[in-house]
Chain A
């Protein structure tokens, strides 16, 4: 049985009919075809599916879509504004923070939430904030460096 779901995704209002059991991850990837958000376990263990709901990072595989009615969801597709990459996207691309790129969307969204909350986090704070996002390629250090470099390139984010 499908139910009506209205929410805002990357600044656009979406009016959908979805099965009640669907997770936010499934609605994003399957109903909205926003495949930038990834999955590595669908059990809340890897962090690959992290998106922002009302500005807070959540694991979209653990959130029922029905809980998201009326809320504001941001995914990696929404990070680029007015044709310009977010500073985090620039530094991740330039500094080797994305190898295979599969954990990258989840890490970018988690890091975005961190910088929105704390514009100049320490290395320890960055480590802590990203501790729920597994990356099998990089060894994390180039990710930390990219987040730190993005602090330097910070620009006002329009939301």
Chain B
């Protein structure tokens, strides 16, 4: 429905907002990864012709952040800079060129501090601390949860697999650079237009950071030119623009450069992980013991939730009777990591699915059959108290096996050619809100007027995933009108009821359910009016094809417009609301708030690879993917989400890296981004994209609107492990790392030729001083979702840490 705007250039992105008297801002960013600001002198910048305002950290004393447990960001750094790119000053000027000139005139004197470049640095050295909060030294978050006696389960297994994997960080790379325009409106209230996925959270952050009543702030989410999770935090430039517009009483625009987008980041955490898994000889898992170490970068962002997510969803795909998860997130002096498509779960999904491939190999089982033998049952609780509803995973596996001729290909193709299989699952919306409360997660308001038009208001944000289309389609379906007769107003904190935002694959399910409720309530009002006018019982009326008619005598009816008028005459002005709150989670232990969802999507994929054994060069001719979507509300857009996920997953699998290097000593030895540019940060082009054979598996789930589940994130997850498994099938080497690059394949082949293990990957997981685990007996051990040791006896600061995160959900 917004397709026309997008193809005519009429979609108004944030940088397309041009207002009279608008000024332009630039940020000065730190050249040091870790330093104390000794002195800032803005005199020369302020005196530069065309400059209207210079701001520094002194102007922003109040910290903010996306999660309540980590309000650790300032719009401009007041004392410490924590990564190359951390903003320290801002200039507002006549135009961008003047602002860029003047920002270089701000003089900053730094005292350089020790740089923490790797998690090993941060685990080893507790000082200087990057932040003055966290579980210990430079450890941000420690989590330890145990569901049943895992050591016993692994000791009693026929086989024990112990593997260490590494997943390199990568970034969202939305094609639109972040931009915003702030303005004091005619009533003297603050308005911010911004390319944000989460206007509600930006609204909250502005109110806090600027010490303004939220009711006097309006945040309008402009359509996002791609988000993928990268526009889900409140950002420095948004807060700076808002304050500057307020002080100057003129519109102020910021549009970040591509380089700055790499510094905003909030992308995929680099994760080192260790999976110890017990397996019976007939291929059942007895227990999984998972440890993860996340390189969080310089700020909290969503990191506390990301840490939990690395261990949350292992259990919803396969039966794991006993499970232990320990996660650690450290601060380092790099751009902050956060939520990227799949948020925290793709890394450990990679490890789990590659390990399953190794298990199948050792047990001499087909990897598809091994998985089919352990699929989690429908309508069940997992060991960690996640509620599985419908599960189409087995259908997904069987579909890709059939479509790819898996059984005639796997282990049967010539050397250099291989296929790999992997599966995944993802949330259809997080079960708990970021700011813990009992309020609805999504609200929809409907207005029906005498023109026969319907307007839907909802805080949901269009980021290219098609949420506006889904909203229109659902309302049109319930009211029996043409989609073209429905207008939507979305992502505006003044005009629309709150929807928490476009993250955690929540919009179709939550907004959709709210929309159904609002539309059904409107239908009831209209039906009452029509029933009165036609003297037909309301229960006998059908809404279809733009008419409301007697089901038993279809000729007897009114047009939708006449029906609305009849209803308005009797009822008065017609407006309805609908809201959605997810069901209560079965988990009642601290930390159990991350992972619950109204329902989970499932995916299976087979990736076909060709590997040149000389060069290690990998080509991917095709991918077969099947996704359990419950029901596809818009099959064209759903396929687009699946194939866009395959595309992004292949980028992560093969080439995308948010990597860092040291500048030469003669410069500063500073730890800098290796290649903050679109040219050198490699992503797939049209020449690299394989053929994708997509199947949507539709078993409507009662939790979803018309049975729908998520589709935006889950299909990305199986791609990375399927590529690694296919490379093994092709040339017999294990690349236990993402990305899987030609260089690593050549290295593994050389090791193999030299009689060494045919593998490239991390060799060890560091010793981490884990706190005592919170012990939660699984349902089949008589558990009720509570921990049996609410206060671990010898836990260091673990208890406080987990307690703090009880209110943190994403």
Listed in ascending order, the chain A residues whose CB lies under 8 Å from chain B are: 33-43, 45-46, 48, 75-77, 79-80, 85, 88-90, 92-96, 98-105, 108, 126-128, 130-144
Contact = CB atoms under 8 A, between A and B. Distances in A.
Interface string B281-310: 000000000000000000000000000000
B226 A100 contact: yes
Contacts of A104: 6-7
B679 to A, nearest CB: 4
Contacts of A89: 4, 7-8
A142 B634 CA distance: 15
Q: How large is the interface on B (under 10, 10 to 19, 20 to 34, 35 or more residues)?
A: 35 or more
B175 A102 contact: yes
A143 B258 CA distance: 24
Most buried by A among B2, B9, B640, B647: B9
Contacts of A143: 686
Interface stretch (B112-120, B373-381, B463-471): B463-471
B689 interface: yes
Contacts of A42: 257-258
- Nearest 6 pairs between A and B by C-beta? A36-B9, A100-B464, A101-B6, A102-B225, A93-B3, A139-B647
11 contacts: A41-B258, A41-B677, A80-B8, A94-B3, A99-B637, A99-B644, A100-B6, A139-B643, A140-B689, A141-B643, A141-B692
Contacts of B648: 136, 139
Given A131-B687, A134-B678, A140-B689, A99 B9 contact: no
A101 to B, nearest CB: 3
A107 B650 CA distance: 22
B18 interface: yes
A85 B7 contact: yes
Nearest to A78: B9
Given A43-B677, A137-B226, A139-B647, A96 B640 contact: yes
Contact of B7 (A108, A136, A142): A108
Contacts of B7: 76, 85, 88-90, 92-93, 98, 101, 104, 108
B428 interface: no
B16 A136 contact: no
A126 to B, nearest CB: 8
A66 to B, nearest CB: 16
Interface in B182-229: 223-228
Nearest to A93: B3
B329 interface: no
Most buried by A among B177, B224, B257: B177
Contacts of B9: 34-37, 75-77, 105
Contacts of A36: 8-10
B59 interface: no
Given A40-B177, A43-B679, 19 more contacts: A41-B678, A45-B258, A45-B679, A92-B3, A93-B6, A93-B7, A96-B636, A96-B637, A98-B3, A100-B224, A127-B687, A127-B689, A136-B175, A137-B464, A138-B643, A138-B647, A139-B643, A140-B689, A142-B643
B269 interface: no
B678 A43 contact: yes
